[in-house]
């Protein structure tokens, strides 16, 4: 029989003090953030390196834009489902071991992607990649909420997402530029080597889990914790927000290359890759907006990120190239800020089921990428960029309405829940 989140918290207090937790300004904080920056860099570089190559896949294999987008959508779809269980597996075998295995095996699979002779073989490897990548994102969020002090979690999560932003940008940029000169196989191969190096840095730099307590993987209890989350007043809305955030963001980036490489712009793969460098604004916005939300409250900051994305969508519908670049910048800034806020909010609100809450959030998040990212190709085929922009605009508007609705959700009461004292204090 499932229990609510609050019923899962035991009555006795945790056995460690705040001094045991990682705080901003300490060597442990620097090592943790170096490791998780490298992990985010590797994960999202390996995941998104195919995005700028979709037009080349269309030419090389003779497939449509929507079919080419499956090289990403299949990966994120499998990733979404696998992450529902990754948190439970890490509860049994440990946080760091799961994350290390995830990164190194994923780098090897991306290297194999560059060697696949047929389109269906490539899709098979990209599907397996979704399974191996699942061990990092959900578990990384759980690691941070277990090991970092409440006053540092916002900054820590923001810096991890900054690594994700740099990785996503670098994977796109490296693959795109190298592909322009040496072909897409070389581009994917170089990204895999960079991912492998980043995984080794993560392995060496990440401090061991001090507050992790293993527990057996019990499927009935696991599903009970999942069910309990949907009785919470805020978590289901946060899951929906994650679906809309990444769905809108990935759809824009999936089809931007097709638009900019076609008339009247006729940009090269290298120039399009450089435009993807706008991704770097995410390294600032995720940390800055995450920190700002910690000071002012998540409710007061989240809606501004969605409003900025909506403004950006409108800009991309303009013809001048500089308007398109401005729009992509606004969408990127708002997306990373919004994701930083929502992901840390889920970790805090999940209580004793925070691993499962993180997994469910990321399930929704990556299902947004899979479903919306593939669906956007149908709008592009029928209505060009105007169709894509309207499709994305509807998703962002729905996300903005959810952000405003969350003002009405009451904060959690003060709880102490193992294996981390992160739940101390009300949700802002």
Domain limits of the chain? Answer: 17-208+217-423
Structure tokens at 261: 């490489």
Residue 28: half-sphere exposure toward Cβ, Cα within 13 Å: 14
pLDDT value at residue 145: 76
Q: Which two tokens stand for residue 35?
A: 């490791």
Q: Which residues of the chain have pLDDT under 70?
A: 1-19, 138, 212-228, 350-353, 355, 410-428
pLDDT at res. 222: 61
User: What per-residue confidence (pLDDT) applies to 58?
Assistant: 92
Q: What is the pLDDT of residue 355?
A: 66
Residue with tokens 């195919």: 50
Distance CA 176, CA 34 (A): 26
Nearest CA-CA partner of 310 in 374, 404, 395? 395
All residues at 6 or more sequence positions from 205 whose CB lies less than 8 Å from its CB, including other chains: 31, 32, 34, 35, 38
pTM of the full structure: 0.76
- Reading the block at residue 309, the tokens are 């994305």
Tell me which DSSP letter residue 414 carries.
P
Cα-Cα-Cα-Cα dihedral of 306, 309, 314, 318, to 10°? 170
Q: How deeply is 274 buried, as exposed, middle or buried, from its count of CB atoms within 10 A (0-12, 13-18, 19+)?
A: middle
CA distance 211 to 14: 10
When the candidates are 1.10.3720.10, 3.90.870.10, 1.20.1250.20, 3.40.50.1000, the CATH number that belongs to 17-208+217-423 is 1.20.1250.20
pLDDT at position 317? 95
């Amino acid at each position: 029989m499932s229990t609510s989140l609050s019923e899962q918290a035991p009555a006795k207090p945790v056995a460690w003090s705040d001094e045991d937790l990682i705080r901003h300004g300490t060597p442990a904080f620097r090592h943790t953030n170096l490791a998780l920056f490298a992990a985010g860099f590797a994960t999202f570089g390996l995941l998104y390196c195919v995005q700028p190559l979709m037009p080349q896949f269309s030419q090389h294999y003779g497939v449509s834009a929507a079919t080419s987008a499956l090289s990403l959508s299949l990966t994120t779809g499998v990733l979404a489902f696998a992450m529902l269980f990754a948190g439970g597996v890490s509860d049994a075998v440990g946080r760091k071991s799961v994350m290390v295995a995830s990164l190194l095996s994923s780098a090897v699979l991306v290297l194999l992607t560059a060697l696949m002779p047929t389109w269906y073989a490539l899709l098979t490897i990209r599907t397996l990649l979704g399974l191996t990548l699942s061990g990092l994102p959900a578990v990384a969020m759980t690691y941070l909420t277990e090991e970092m002090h409440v006053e540092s979690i916002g900054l820590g999560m923001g810096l991890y997402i900054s690594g994700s932003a740099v990785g996503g940008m670098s994977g796109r940029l490296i693959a795109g530029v190298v592909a322009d000169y040496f072909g897409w196989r070389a581009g994917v191969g170089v990204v895999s080597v960079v991912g492998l190096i980043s995984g080794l840095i993560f392995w060496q730099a990440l401090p061991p889990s001090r507050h992790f307590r293993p527990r057996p993987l019990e499927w009935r209890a696991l599903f009970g914790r999942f069910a309990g989350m949907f009785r919470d007043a805020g978590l289901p809305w946060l899951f929906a927000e994650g679906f809309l955030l990444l769905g809108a963001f990935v759809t824009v980036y999936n089809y931007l290359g097709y638009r900019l490489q076609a008339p009247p712009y006729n940009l090269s793969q290298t120039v399009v890759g450089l435009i993807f460098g706008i991704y770097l604004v995410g390294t600032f916005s995720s940390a800055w907006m995450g920190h700002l939300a910690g000071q002012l409250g998540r409710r007061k900051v989240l809606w501004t990120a969605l409003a900025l994305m909506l403004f950006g969508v409108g800009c991309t519908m303009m013809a001048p190239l500089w308007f398109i670049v401005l729009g992509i910048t606004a969408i990127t800034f708002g997306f990373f800020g919004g994701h930083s806020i929502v992901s840390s909010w889920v970790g805090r609100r999940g209580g004793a089921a925070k691993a499962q809450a993180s997994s469910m959030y990321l399930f929704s998040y990556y299902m947004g990428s899979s479903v919306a990212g593939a669906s956007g190709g149908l709008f592009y085929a029928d209505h060009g960029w105007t169709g894509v922009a309207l499709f994305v605009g509807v998703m962002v508007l729905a996300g903005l309405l959810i952000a405003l609705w969350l003002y009405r959700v009451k904060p959690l009461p003060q709880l102490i829940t193992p294996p981390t004292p992160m739940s101390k204090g009300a949700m802002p």
